Every structure is written in C-alpha cells, then in structure tokens.
Amino acid sequence: GAVELKTEEDKPKVLAGGGKIITATEVKVNISIPDGAKRAFETGADGVGLFRIEHMVLGLPKHPMKYIKDGEVEEYVQKLYEGMKVVVDTFYPKPVWIRTIDAPTDEFRAMEGGEDEPIEANPMLGFRGIRRDLIEEEHFRAEIRAIKRLVEEGYTNIGIMLPLITRVDEVRRAKQIIMEEGLPLSKIEFGIMVETPAAALIIEDLVKEGIDFVSFGTNDLTQYTIAVDRNNENVAYLYDETHPAVMKLIEHVIKVCRKHGVKTSICGQAGSYPKVVEKLVRLGIDSVSANPDAVERVRETVARVEKRIMLDRLRDE
Ligand code: PEP
Ligand code: MG
C-alpha cells in the first residue's frame, strides 16, 4: 500500500517559490461555481481539470430551455459567458477545461421553471450529458457561443470537454456544431470524459475522431461498470471506484491514449485516493484534478510517487 509521509525529511525536496511542490504529473482543481475560482486558484493548481457549469445554470432564475423558447438566447449566452469568464480569467494562462452541461432530469426539474422536465425511472441512464445537448442543440450552440466569445477576446487557455460519451457519432456531431458556430478547434483544446464502459472500450475509435484529451469521470464510470447507482443508499456498500474492473478500463484507455499522443486526466473523486493516484501516475497519466481542499494532499502524493519511480529507475540502471 501507499506509504504516508511521516517526517519533514520524508517530504519531496523539489520545492518552488512559496514552498509549492513541483510535479511532472500536473495537479489540477475541479470547480463548480465561478465564486469558487479564487480559492481554487490559490491552491496553486496547474489549471482546472473540470468546470461543472451545470451548477451555475441550475442557479439561474429560469430553466435554460425557457430562455431559448422565450427568444432570450442571447441573455442566456451572456450569463454563461460571464460565469465562464470569471474562471477562465482567474486561471489565465493556465488551462480551464469547461465541461458542457451535465445534470440529470431530476436536478433540472428541481430548478425554477423545471416543471416540464421529463420524469424518468432512471435519470442516471437517461436524458443527460452529451445526448441531451445533441437533442437540445440550441442549448449546445449557446454554450459554444459563450466560449467563442471568450476565445475572440484572446483567451487561449480554454478546453471543451464532453460528458457521458458512449458513441463515436456524438464526438463527430459535437465537433461539427462547434465548427458551424465558427469556433476553430485549433483555438481550444477538445476532449471527452471517459465515464462509461462504452467509451473506455471504444477508445481507439474515439481517439481517431481527433481529440486532444480524455478525462476519467470515475464517479460515473464506477456506477456504470459495476451496476451500482451512485445515489442509491441500498447498494452504497458496493460502490467501489477501485474495483478491478474500473481500474482495467482506465489502464486500457491510458495505454491507447499514450500510443496516440492524447492527454489523459482524472476528475472523479477517485483522483483524491492515494492508492489510485499511485497507480495512475505509474501508468503515465498526465494530470489529476481534485476538489480544492484535496489539491495539496494530491500534490504531495504525486510527488512522493514520482520520487519513488525515479529512485526505482536509478536502482535498476
Ligand atoms: C464523474 O462522473 O466522475 C465526474 C467527474 O462527473 P460528475 O461527478 O459531475 O458526474
Ligand atoms: Mg460524471
């Protein structure tokens, strides 16, 4: 198992100004609301590995599709733009990966104006993530327009990340819409979340569509791999992000991505577990993104693992 730091001497010696540990594997931070950007930045994180924009949207006075139906799409784009700008600007020039909207129908229904949301027996397997954005295409276009505005202002640190990918045509269609909106893919980083077994198993095909990065959404990847609803208390005892099946999928994806020069990252909760971090760093993951309060700890774990890898190599020579 992972060895915990016990004394000051055990700590990695590679320190930068302010005592921040430098690691080869980047340590990033997850963000849910623009108001959290400053605190997240102060962790010294190497960027934002996941900006969950749905929290910002669920807090709006009106359901997003209502803005669109009421002919107020520009007002909605403006709101997205303002929220995104706070995060993108706070971190500039460090990268910010903005995830397109991903909330299940039950969460949308709970918001102001959400009464028209469909009632689903299994919201986690339902109308959410990329599938929703490709049906409610006007919504996806609004997100892209908000990002395009930032790109036109000169921000070069933006990534777009698609949630709940299961199919090649989802990536293809999303790219097509981004281009139709006049946002050149060369001006952003483009990536997908790997949070379904389907995405992990067809990663070779997804990579061929042209993606810059993947990020493991282990919260979802776990529930879909081992058939345990992440919100169901009755089976919570089975919810294990370190299940060998989950780890095998991740290992496969990292191997394929490394072969093709696609960056890999993790933004699920498992990225804060020392044993998982150790395994992923050894597999060659490029970054780990954690909640603000975990960034420091993850950075220490990464540094310790990297040091051990280097020492092992020296010994082997
Ligand atoms: C995940 O599924 O691991 C993830 C980071 O996305 P979310 O928790 O928002 O579903
Ligand atoms: Mg998820």
Q: Which residues have C-beta within 8 Å of that of residue 310, sequence separation ≥ 6? A: none
For residue 165, give the 3-state DSSP assignment: coil
Q: Determine the distance separating the centroid of ligand 1 and the alpha carbon of 15, expressed in angstroms.
A: 32
Is the pLDDT assigned to residue 2 strictly greater than 70? no
- ipTM value of the model? 0.99
For the beta carbon of residue 93, count every other beta carbon within 10 angstroms. Answer: 10
14-28, 107-121, 182-196: range with highest mean pLDDT: 182-196
pLDDT tens figures, 252-297: 999 999 999 999 999 999 999 999 999 999 999 999 999 999 999 9
Ligand 1 pocket: which of 97, 106, 107, 193 to mutate (most atoms <8 Å of CB)?
A: 193
Is the pLDDT assigned to residue 3 strictly greater than 60? no
| CA of 50, closest atom in ligand 1 | 5
Question: Left if phi > 0, otherwise alpha if psi is -120 to 50, otherwise beta: which for 92?
Answer: beta
- What's residue 192's pLDDT? 99
Instruction: With CA atoms as reference, report the closest residue to 282 among 312, 257, 245, 249.
Output: 312
Which range among 57-61, 168-172, 209-213 shows the weakest confidence by mean pLDDT?
57-61
- What's residue 20's pLDDT? 74
Q: What's the rounded mean pLDDT across residues 136-152?
A: 98
Ligand 1 pocket: which of 51, 195, 269 to mutate (most atoms <8 Å of CB)?
A: 195
Q: What is the mean pLDDT of the chain?
A: 94
| CA of 163, closest atom in ligand 1 | 6
- What's residue 203's pLDDT? 99
Which range among 15-29, 33-47, 231-245 shows the weakest confidence by mean pLDDT?
15-29
- What's residue 18's pLDDT? 56
Q: Which residues line ligand 1 (CB under 6 A)?
A: 50, 52, 102, 195, 217-220, 267-268
Is the pLDDT assigned to residue 1 strictly greater than 70? no
pLDDT tens figures, 153-172: 999 999 999 999 999 999 99
- What's residue 148's pLDDT? 98
- For helices 295-316 and 274-283, give the axis angle rounded to 10 degrees: 50
Is the pLDDT assigned to residue 14 strictly greater than 50? no
Q: Which two tokens stand for residue 93?
A: 């020039």
Give CA–CA dist 202/197, Å, rounded: 9
Q: Determine the distance separating the centroid of ligand 2 and the alpha carbon of 260, expressed in angstroms.
A: 24
| CA of 217, closest atom in ligand 1 | 3
- What's residue 112's pLDDT? 86
- Identity of the amino acid at 54: E
- What's residue 110's pLDDT? 92
- What's residue 21's pLDDT? 84
Q: Are 178 and 147 in contact (CB under 8 A)?
A: no
- What's residue 317's pLDDT? 83
Question: What is the percentage of the chain residues whose pLDDT exceeds 90?
Answer: 92
Which ligand gives the minimal distance to the CA of 267? Answer: 1
Between residues 65 and 13, which one has the greater pLDDT?
A: 65
For the beta carbon of residue 152, count every other beta carbon within 10 angstroms. Answer: 11
The DSSP element (H or E) to which 76 belongs, if any, is helix 73-91
Is the pLDDT assigned to residue 13 strictly greater than 50? no
pTM over 0.90: yes
Is the pLDDT assigned to residue 4 strictly greater than 70? no
Is the pLDDT assigned to residue 34 strictly greater than 50? yes
- What's residue 19's pLDDT? 63
pLDDT tens figures, 295-315: 999 999 999 999 999 999 999
